[in-house]
Amino acid sequence: MVEDPEEDLSRDERRQFDRSRLIVDVYYDGGDATGVASTKDLSLGGLCMSTQANIPVGTTLTVRIPVGIERIVVKGDVVYSNPGRGVGVRFHRMSEDARKIMERELME
């Protein structure tokens, strides 16, 4: 069963952060899941990544995101999972340095 807790939220609440179609390979690790996936979209609040992995909703992942010549490491929770199509991750509090790097990259 696919769970998407964002279904109950208004469009404005779901889209607190503008999304970018920035496509990069991210490395994730958490629960029983470890791997590499490509982002579908990315924002300061989270990301959607393409993966064949079955990662349960609620799993906390550590995600490593290459941004320019730097790499951001952030934790986030899986908020929806559709094996074979994608996984949505909502970030926990991002460090100020990581936020500045992301903002700079997403503005370009």
pLDDT at 60 over 50: yes
Residue 42 CB neighbour total at 10 angstroms: 24
Q: Which of residues 49 and 15 earns the better pLDDT score? A: 49
Contact 55, 34 (CB under 8 A): no
Query: What CATH class is the domain 20-107?
Result: mainly beta
pLDDT at 55 over 90: yes
pLDDT at 69 over 60: yes
Q: What is the reported pLDDT for 3?
A: 44
Q: What is the reported pLDDT for 108?
A: 67
pLDDT at 102 over 50: yes
Query: Letter for the amino acid at 61?
Result: L
Residue 104 CB neighbour total at 10 angstroms: 12
User: 107 falls in which pLDDT band (50, 70, 90)?
Assistant: confident
Q: Any idea where the domains of the chain sit in the sequence? A: 20-107
Q: What is the pLDDT of residues 2-27, one digit of tens each?
A: 444 444 433 444 445 445 556 789 99
Closest C-alpha to 94, from 102, 86, 82? 102
